[in-house]
Amino acid sequence: MRVPAVNPSGVHFLRDRTVIAGLLRSARPDAGDLVLELGAGPGVLTAALAGTGARVVAVERDAAFAARLRRRFAHRPVTVVQDDLRRVRLPRRPFAVVANLPFATGTATLRRLLGDPGLRLRGADLLVEWGFARRLTRPVPRDAETAGWAARYQLRIARRVPPAAFSPAPRVAAAHLVVRPRELDRRTLPVLRALLADAYRRPAAPLTAVLAAHVPGGRAHRLARSTGIAPPVLAGAVPAAAWAELAAAVVVAEPAARARSIS
């Protein structure tokens, strides 16, 4: 297999069939589903995805790999897009992502996929650097951006993928990261954003103080309890999943909070 002359950290080709099978078992694409593969390389994963009957869009920056992919999949439902995955136009239709990401692009990719409320992402099954996956799946995220991703999407590690699963073997292990959208009413999104911005600005404040800024004072305690949180709890100690429930509860309890959060 031709490895680019410059092999920047993160460019490691999958060679373990059980890892590929695990990605497909988890993603379960149906025939006709739109699946985006980011960083397709020589097409090992692309071939497996095409075998499911899904419509695959394979994004690859390297010109030689892109040409090889076009030849290899000329008669399959695979569209090859030679572009940078950090800039490529993302579908507006519902789509899933299955990819062995270059490690160096993890944050940029997650930011694009999970940070844009306009995307209709059905799910993502990604191989990412192990430490990155561990940081993303902490119950209480360290920053508002990650908390926003984890509030809108369930993020979990399906398995640890050892360096030997790749060629050349990376210095560190990878993780199969599973991303699935939570059922969230669109009206909750601006409230969620406002709550998280507030909470991460003053993580040592009581949760009820943060909530009180978004609903009338007396109701903050009741609201916290309605999602199973018994005050006192600090804003910076609230799990990401609870923020999604809190935002939904704020919208139900106080529809006007929406207007306040947006303004």
Ligand X SMILES: C[S@@+](CC[C@H](N)C(=O)[O-])C[C@H]1O[C@@H](n2cnc3c(N)ncnc32)[C@H](O)[C@@H]1O
CB 168 within 8 A of CB 12: yes
CB 34 within 8 A of CB 95: yes
40 touches ligand X by CB under 6 A: yes
39 touches ligand X by CB under 6 A: yes
Question: Which structure tokens are listed for 132?
Answer: 């990155």
100 is an annotated ligand-binding site residue? yes
Measured from the CB atom, the residue of 65 and 95 that comes closer to ligand X is 65
185 is an annotated ligand-binding site residue? no
Number of residues near ligand X (by CB under 6 A): 20
45 touches ligand X by CB under 6 A: yes
7 is an annotated ligand-binding site residue? no
Position among 14, 110, 128, 210 found at the interface with ligand X (CB under 6 A): 14
60 is an annotated ligand-binding site residue? yes
User: Which positions ≥6 away from 137 have C-beta within 8 Å?
Assistant: 150, 155, 156, 157, 177
Which range binds ligand X by CB under 6 A, 12-20, 47-55, 210-218, 238-246? 12-20
Which amino acid appears at position 87 of this protein? R
102 touches ligand X by CB under 6 A: yes
Measured from the CB atom, the residue of 87 and 134 that comes closer to ligand X is 87
Using CA atoms, how far residue 191 sits from 109, 178, 210, 223, in Å, is 24, 25, 12, 14
CB 55 within 8 A of CB 27: no
Query: What is the x/- site pattern for ligand X, positions 59-98, by CB under 6 A?
Result: xxxx--x------------------xxx------------
Using CA atoms, how far residue 253 sits from 48, 175, 179, in Å, is 47, 39, 29
* 28 Ramachandran zone, left/alpha/beta (phi>0; psi -120 to 50): left
Measured from the CB atom, the residue of 147 and 174 that comes closer to ligand X is 174
Name residue 234's beta-bridge partners. Answer: 206
Which amino acid appears at position 79 of this protein? T
Please name the residue that has the structure tokens 């993890």: 106
16 touches ligand X by CB under 6 A: no
Residue list, annotated binding site: 12, 14, 39, 60, 84, 100
Interface residues toward ligand X, by CB under 6 A: 11-14, 39-41, 44-45, 59-62, 65, 84-86, 100, 102, 105
Binding-site residues for S-adenosyl-L-methionine, please?
12, 14, 39, 60, 84, 100
